[in-house]
Each structure stands twice: as C-alpha cells, then as structure tokens.
Amino acid sequence: MDIQTKLLQKLDDAQSEMIEIRRYLHEHPEVSFKEKATSKYIKDFYQKIGCDTIDYGEGYGFVVDINGGKPGKKLALRADFDALAVQEDNDLPFKSKNDGVMHACGHDGHTAYMMILARALNELKDELTGSIRIIHQPAEEVSPGGAKGMLEAGVLDGVDNVIGIHVMSSMPTGSIGYHQDETQTGRANFTIKIKGHGGHASMPHLSNDAIVAGAYFVTALQTVVSRRIDPFDTASVTIGSFDGTGSYNAIKEDVVLKGDVRVMKETTRKTIRNQILQISAGLEKMFGVKMDIDYDDNYPVLVNDAHLTQQVVHAIKTANLLEVKDVFDCGMQDPSEDFAYFAQDTPSCFYYVGCQPEDGKNHPHHSPDFMMNEDCLIVAAKSAAIATLDYLAD
C-alpha cells in the first residue's frame, strides 16, 4: 500500500474524531489574543501522541515539526484557531458556551482538520521525504494579527513554501476554489476623533459643530474611490461607526468615526490613505475643528504564488478524490486575511474549501448564524494531504 493510500485511509478512519474536535472547539471559543485554553487543548492533543510543540511569538501560537525519513524540502501548513466577539444565534447541541463569543468564521474547523492531518502525517513520517511544519496560529481576526508576531519570531525560517486553507460558506460543500496572484484584499482601519466647540442649538454661530464636519467627511470620502482610484482597480472605503450621540438642543463638541479600507494593490492603499489625510486637513480649516486620526495599515494584499498554486491545484485535480466534486478558479475574494503576511514572506498558496450547509441558505462568515457543513472537514484534510505529498515528492 503506497503512502497516499495509507494517509487517506487514516483520515477516513478519523473523520468522526475530526468532527468531535471541531464541535468541542465550537463550544469553547476564545477571541483573538486570549486563546489560552484553546492553545492548551491543541497542545495536549500533540503531547498525547508524542509530538513536541514550539511556541512562536508573544501570543498563543506554536508549531509542530514533522521530519521525514529522507532529507528534502520543508513545507509549512497553517491553521488559525481564534473566534470572534459575536453572540451565537444557532440552536445547536454544541452551541458556544462563552457568552458573546463564537466561532463565526470556521477556524474551529481549520484547527480540527489540521490536528488529525498532522497526526496522520506524523504516523507516516518515516516514509516522507522532507519535512512539514504545522503552524497553529492565534489571532487572525484582529490587527496586528497573529501571523505577524510569529513571523517576527522566525516561524518560517528554513521553510520553502506555505499552504493554507479557509472554509467558505458561500461555496458548495465538495467544491474547492483557488486563485493565483492577487487573491484577497489588503486592509486598513482608522479612527477619527473630530473635536469642535459645543454650544446651544439656538446660537450655532458661537460653536464649531463636530457633527456637521463629520457629515461632510463621510460625504467627501465617497469621492476617494469614485474619483481617485483607477476604475480597473479594486478598492472600498467604509464608515462603519459614527458616534455623535447628544441632545436635541445642543451642538455636539466631538464625534468619533471608525472606518475600513480594502484594496487589491498596495499602491492603491497609499492613495487612499493620502486622500483621507488631505480631506481631514481641509475640513479642519473649513470648519475650525481638530481631526485626530489613528490610521492602522495592517493586513497586506494576499498574493498566491502562481507556480505553487498551479502545483497544488493539479495535485488535487488528478487525485480524483470522491469527496471533491469541483475545483475551480473562484477569482479574487473581498475579505482580508492575515495569511497574507506569510505569503508576503514566502511563496504560498491559500485556497478555499466549500462548507455551504445542506439547507442551502446563506450563513455568512462573521454572522451570528454562521454554520458549516462538517463534510467540508474531510475535504480540507484530504486535499491538504494530497497537496503535501505531491509537494514533498516533487
């Protein structure tokens, strides 16, 4: 029996265990940078099977190294394990037990399939050529992201390439989506505090109205993408919060706005930031207010290495896995992802595994009713297994 047959059989035999792990993690979610119990749970799993864990970064991230019987290339496989500050609205027997926290993006599934895959690979390590670094990463959801800290600590030293997977509720279960080159948007967030001069609503001439200045800012912001970005580029600027609560008969002295920026080119990122600063400077003079800006340029554009992506896709397609019904180019994806830091450092491939629930309804990521079809777990595990074996054998 060849190693591929053995590996896939081990994954089949552990499918129910994979689901059990996912459900345990779903019941006990922890938000970014606070995943102490989650990290311990995963580490205990590896301790029981005789694998050492090595911490990387200041958070709760760690790696497990699987060294093959023969020297060769070193591949990293990455899975994230943080949850979101979302109150779950699903009626499940394994519903979140932590109030206000939920695995609303599928990271519980990422971790579950990776743990079982890592164990299976470790059991067959003597038959492998090269080595595998399993990266269990915290804090994908919140800037600066867990990947950045692990990178700064040297998590990819000696690694030739990295592969990552994200489950996608918008894609049918059994499908695998991919794209090469620019694949997911880069991201920035900003907070702007507008400080004016408050006063009585009957005497507006004696005040500098922060709400009016804020309203002009929101309106002017709409011209950034429509008039300063090439129509063939991808970009969005969103004001997600306008906190100006006050009284009906008082002119507001200060307001706070929070915004989000998404780009598909790093040059576009610079243009948008400069435009926001320029508009703010103009409003200060126009309205006599002070614009205090906290601008956080964080996740870069996720760029998939063309050669590695083609290799991964070819391996999955030619494996003819029964669970995989379709492998397709899904095009560029709107959300941002801190795997982009890994891809920025080392040639990488990040692809998608459909997890659309059987009811066919829309259960979007980051929503209180996010839900996955757990059949996606075996698809993720087997596709990653095939990609890993093909890579190491090349």
Domain span(s) for CATH 3.30.70.360 in the chain: 186-297
The confidence score (pLDDT) of residue 310 equals 98
pTM for this entry: 0.95
The confidence score (pLDDT) of residue 360 equals 84
CA distances in angstroms from 281 to 195, 219, 321, listed in the order given: 13, 15, 58
C-beta atoms surrounding 250 within 10 Å: 12
Q: How confident is the model at residue 361 (pLDDT cuts 50, 70, 90)?
A: confident
Domain span(s) for CATH 3.40.630.10 in the chain: 3-184+301-393
Q: Any catalytic annotation for residue 35? A: no
Q: What is the mean pLDDT of residues 191-218?
A: 97
Q: Any catalytic annotation for residue 17? A: no
3-184+301-393 homologous superfamily: Zn peptidases (3.40.630.10)
Nearest Cα neighbor of 186 from 361, 47, 383, 338 is 338
Find the catalytic residue in 108, 140, 254, 337.
Answer: 140
Q: How confident is the model at residue 359 (pLDDT cuts 50, 70, 90)?
A: confident
Q: How confident is the model at residue 143 (pLDDT cuts 50, 70, 90)?
A: very high
Class of domain 186-297: alpha beta
The confidence score (pLDDT) of residue 127 equals 97
The confidence score (pLDDT) of residue 362 equals 85
Find the catalytic residue in 35, 80, 82, 88.
Answer: 82
Residue environment code for 181-194, b if the CB has 16+ CB neighbours within 10 A, otherwise e: ebbbbbbbbbebbb
Q: How confident is the model at residue 239 (pLDDT cuts 50, 70, 90)?
A: very high
Q: DSSP assignment of 6-52, as one string?
A: HHHHHHHHTHHHHHHHHHHHHHS--BTT--HHHHHHHHHHHHHTT--
Average pLDDT, the chain: 97
C-beta atoms surrounding 40 within 10 Å: 12
What tens digit of pLDDT does each residue of 156-182 get? 999 999 999 999 999 999 999 999 999
d(CA 177, CA 280): 40
pLDDT score of 255 more than 90: yes
What tens digit of pLDDT does each residue of 85-128 get? 999 999 999 999 999 999 999 999 999 999 999 999 999 999 99
